[in-house]
Amino acid sequence: MLQDNHYHEEMANQEILERVENCLFAFQSSLVHGPKPLLFLPGNRRSSMELSWRNGHLFTAVCCVLAEVHSLLRTNTFRTKRSIFYKHRHLFRTQRDIDVAIGLTCNILEASRFQLHILSTSRGLIAGDLVLETRKREMIDCRIPTSIPTFPEHFSIRCCSAKFVLIVEKDSVFQKLAYERTIEPTLSAALIVTAKGYPDFSTRLFLNALNERAQLPMVALMDADSYGIEIFLNYKYGPSRISHESGSNILLPNTQWLGIYPSEIERFELAGAHKLPLTQRDKKHITNLQHRFGDDTSINEELKRLAAYGHKIEVEALCSLGPHYLTQKYLRAKLERIQYANDGTMAV
């Protein structure tokens, strides 16, 4: 598997390398023949960038990123965005400078940041019965909670007895479930993953690669509020502003929402302190989500319930009902409805 991936990656690297070189040749030609000096990929002037007095600094920053990408692809090495920032600290005045420059470079080359061999340090964590082997033959034992690999596509699975992936919204919930999976049979078959909020590119890329290799069903446990719903939708459909940089093909469309549903809030006998009133910002956010996902009937129904109820709850609120209520009552009841067929598919 590693050898096949390596072959396809070399082909992809060569294609992106040619795009970088064609872009720079086109820029050179525009300098000589005019009418304007442009950075663009031949055949795609929609994402071009014109050199002017106003954007000279940003134009230089994009050229710097192109040079870095060319070097990384030629040597088949990777660098983090942070290391590029500090290497060219005289050019990138702020973190936003490099973010904008990389985003423009991705759009011009029609490639994701990962395809350009530029990485962001992953915020993601994973815990479960899974052992990975990297291309350098290093082992990553996920049976102990560990960070998601920096190079999320560069692994093969050495051992995996997990039956499903449980994505959780927050680190506090991840830590609790990672501990309780050793004593709670229902969770023993889970690979528990968190990105500590909205999923970063590296975490989504890792889950996408894991899905391709292990084909494990994925479920998501989120807070019963509009932001929890949006985070789930980020995993499923990608960020709201899909771009080449964010990886338009890094989607997990089969991810299922396990809970907590707004329609469930009323059945929990929670103290008033755990039922947080919706703010004006929450209400506006609910309306925005309804506009964005108007064709998703089940999501819209839950958003309506949330708005009508006027309160939201966090996953941690269920722990106030008992130290093991979340795992032994709520999650057990949810997960026991899941049936695993021989081919590994899941139905709720």
Residue 344: phi and psi, rounded to 5, are 90, 5
Nearest to 87 by CA among 74, 99, 77, 98: 98
Q: Look up residue 164 and give its DSSP letter.
A: E
In the sheet where 146-147 sits, what is the strand order?
146-147, 125-127, 190-194, 164-168, 218-221, 256-259
Q: Which two tokens stand for residue 72?
A: 């990384």
For residues 30, 34, 37, 43, the Cα torsion angle rounded to the nearest 10 degrees is -50
- Per DSSP, the three-state class of 301 is helix
User: Which string of b and e fits 112-143 if b means at least 16 CB within 10 Å?
Assistant: bbbbbbbbbebbbbbbbbbebbeeeeeebebe
340 is catalytic: no
Instruction: Please pick, among 7, 86, 227, 237, the residue that the annotation labels catalytic.
Output: 86
Angle at 39 between CA 34 and CA 44, to 5 degrees: 95
The maximal CA–CA distance of the chain, rounded, in angstroms, is: 74
Q: Where are the alpha helices (DSSP H) in 34-182?
A: 56-75, 81-87, 95-109, 171-180
Minimal CA–CA distance to 225: which of 292, 306, 296?
306
CA-to-CA distance for 167 and 172, rounded, in angstroms?
Answer: 13
Give the single-character DSSP code of 76: T
Residue 231: in which H helix or E strand, if any? helix 226-237
Catalytic (active-site) positions: 86
